[in-house]
Amino acid sequence: MADGGVMRDAGGGKPGTAHGGLARNPGQPLDLDRVRSLRVNRSAVERRAATIPTRRTVKKEWQAAWLLKAITLMDLTTLSGDDTAGNVRRLCAKARNPLRDDIVRALGAESLDVKTGAVCVYHQWVSTAVAALEGSGVPVAAVSTGFPAGLSPFEQRLAEIPASVKAGAQEIDIVITRAHVLTGDWQALYDEVKAFRAACGDAHIKAILATGELATLSNVARASWVAMQAGADFIKTSTGKEGTNATLPVSLVMVRQIREYEAATGFKVGYKPAGGIRTAKQALDYLLLMKEELGDRWLQPDLFRFGASALLTDIERQLEHFVTGRYAAAHRQPMP
């Protein structure tokens, strides 16, 4: 199914250096002058963000194609205290086959082999997920470093990373110490993320900024820049456990820092909004944001992910409506 460029294969970068052949961000020396000079005009950001849902309308087969793309960009996630091996295996089965076969056939999408971008779990379930996803090409991401608060002793947080990598995690979602941002201790934040990056080895690191707890958009911009200079492969909005998680204004600030970082260094860094993205309409808004601010290259799973669980169900409902003309109840969709 065509979609004006959204379903194209990833391209560019150095072969074999990252998921999708993209040259990996090696990090840069910390530039404190640049970090401290960053200022964000909240009113201007909010005005721009408010236009994103209204600037483009995606309908019919184009919308279906964009929603298929959204599925391939999901980190299908379970981070609950009552997770079990059975729940994780079911989630992995969903990641391998996120849509019912009848919907895939009706869309003519059999050749696309649609799968989610990754499965994200706690360390305890990494080996279970790796076994369940064997041969699928879907990587396992592990939350780490004292997720979600990030307040356990540093040595303990650091040790979690190689343990998850050894268990088979190819991506590590780390949480920063929010106090470093709130007190302006940018050197401490840089050193922390740099140590986490080193512990990841070949596994990719997604730096969770917990933006809902950073007080200002200027702090969000500064924390984004420091994390990228420390070598983050992705910057991520939230753990999903904060009172405020991903929003379009915060996302606009973060993706513009990504754009500036590429302009300054030549390296592309990925973006992951997480928490509170539950509807297909919201997913389309974020895809439009990425397309307008960073371009089509950031509509590939090596540079963009949704942190999501409930989102997939609504996308399935929208796709079923597209092929049948009827909205199904959410409980009709196979649940992860």
Active site residues: 173, 236, 272
Inter-CA distances, 274 with 75, 241, 306, Å: 9, 10, 6
Inter-CA distances, 134 with 92, 95, 139, 216, 230, Å: 10, 12, 9, 42, 32
Is the Cα torsion angle 312, 270, 188, 34 positive or negative in sign? negative
Q: Of 140, 139, 136, 132, whose CA–CA distance to 87 is shortest?
A: 132
Q: What does the alpha-carbon distance between residue 152 and residue 4 come to, in Å, rounded to a whole number? A: 47
Q: What does the alpha-carbon distance between residue 301 and residue 137 come to, in Å, rounded to a whole number? A: 12
Q: Which residues contact 28 (CB under 8 A, 6 or more apart)?
A: 228, 229, 265
Pairing of β 204-208 and β 234-236:
parallel
Sheet of 204-208, strand order: 270-272, 234-236, 204-208, 171-175, 140-143, 118-121, 74-77, 306-308
Inter-CA distances, 300 with 1, 11, 241, 291, 316, Å: 16, 9, 26, 11, 20
Our CA angle for 73, 14, 69, nearest 5°, is: 15
In this structure, are residues 13 and 19 in contact, taking their beta carbons and an 8 Å threshold? no
